[in-house]
Amino acid sequence: MLKNKYVIYDAADGFKPSTASCYWFIFCQDEILLKVTDSCQCEIPKGSDAPVNVEPWNRIHPIAKIENHDCVAVSVDMSDAPEGYVFYPLRQSFNVLPYVFYSIAGKAREILYWDKNTQYCGACGSPMKFHTTISKRCTCCGKEVWPSLAIAIIVLISHNDEVLLVQSRKFKGNYYGLVSGFVETGENLEQCVIREVLEETSLEIDHLQYVGSQAWPFPSALMAAFRAQYVRGNLNLQYSELSKGGWFKWNNLPDLPKEDSIARKMIDKWVHEQRGL
C-alpha cells in the first residue's frame, strides 16, 4: 500500500493527506476491527496506513485525538478480517479495550451511522456535502444537518429494600434491567420518566433525582439516568414492551445488565447503599 495516500477531511484546512500515525477505528457494519497482539490482547490498529484496503469512496472521518495521534473512523465492506486482526461487536469491545478507546469507538460508530444515513437532503433530495467535520449542507437548498441523538431515560425505582427490575422484549439475554424509554416531542426528561414508568408498570413515583448520563451508540442515543421512589400503585406490566418484571430485594437479585451500562452502575450503587444500612 502507498504511504499517506489517504485523504482526511478537515473542515478548517480543507482536504489534506494524513501524514502521521493514526488510530484506525474501522467498522464493518456494527463490528470494529481490532488488532490481536502477540500476547493475545486486542487493541485499536495504529499506523500511517490502514490495515485494510480503504477504497476512495470510503470516507475517512477525523473524530478525536489521543496523545497527539489522530483517531479516524472509516466504514468498509469486507467479509473477513485480515490475518492478525479480528472484527469484534462494538458493545463487546468494552470488555477488551481501555475505556477511552471504547468511548471513541462509540463516537466513531455514531458518526459513520450518521454519514451513511444523510447522503441526501431530507427537504429536496439533492446530495449533501460535508460543511464541517460534523455537519453537512445540501448542495441545492443549503439545508444543514448535524448528527442527531435519540434521547432516552432510564430509572431505578426503589421501595424500602427492594428495587423494580424488568425485562424488556428488546433484551438479548435472560437478564433484568431498569425501566427505560425514549423522550417524546414536547416532553422534558422528568415528564418522560413519569410517563414511561406509568405506561410500562402502572406505578406512580416521586423524588426524582438525576444521576448522570451515558452515550449509547447503538446506533445513536444519549441515556439520561434517574433514581425515583415508589409512591403507589400495583405493578401491572405493559406486555407489549416488557416480558417480565418485579420487585427484588438487594441480596436476591436476578441476572443484571453488563458492567458497561449505566443501569448496572446504578443497581450496583443502590446495592452498596443497602448493604451499608
Q: Which residues bind Zn ion (CB under 5 A)?
A: 121, 123-124, 126, 138, 140-141, 143
Tell me the closest approach of the beta carbon of residue 249 to Zn ion, in angstroms: 57
HSE (side-chain half, CA atoms, 13 Å) at 272: 6
Q: Among candidates 241, 261, 149, 163, which has minimal Cα distance to 195?
A: 241
Whether 178 and 154 have beta carbons less than 8 Å apart is answered as yes
Nearer to Zn ion (CB atom), residue 146 or residue 210:
146
Nearer to Zn ion, 138 or 152 (CB): 138
Q: How far is the CB of 116 from Zn ion (least distance, A)?
A: 18
Phi, psi (rounded to 5 degrees) for 73: -120, 140
What separation in angstroms does the CA of 232 have from each of 113, 201, 217?
42, 11, 35
Cβ 142 to Zn ion shortest distance, Å: 7
Residue with Cβ nearer Zn ion (89 or 125)? 125
Nearer to Zn ion, 145 or 156 (CB): 145
Least distance CB 114 / Zn ion (angstroms): 17
What is the spatial distance between Cα 56 and Cα 168, in angstroms, rounded to a whole number?
42
Q: How far is the CB of 124 from Zn ion (least distance, A)?
A: 3
Q: How far is the CB of 12 from Zn ion (least distance, A)?
A: 25
For residue 271 the three cell numbers come to 446495592
Q: What is the largest CA-CA distance in the chain?
A: 67
Closest to Zn ion by CB, 123 vs 150, is 123
Q: What would the DSSP string read from start to end of 33-60? A: EEEEPTTS-EE--EESS-SS---TTS-B
The vertex-247 CA angle with 244 and 251, nearest 5°, equals 120
Residue with smaller CB distance to Zn ion, 100 or 141: 141
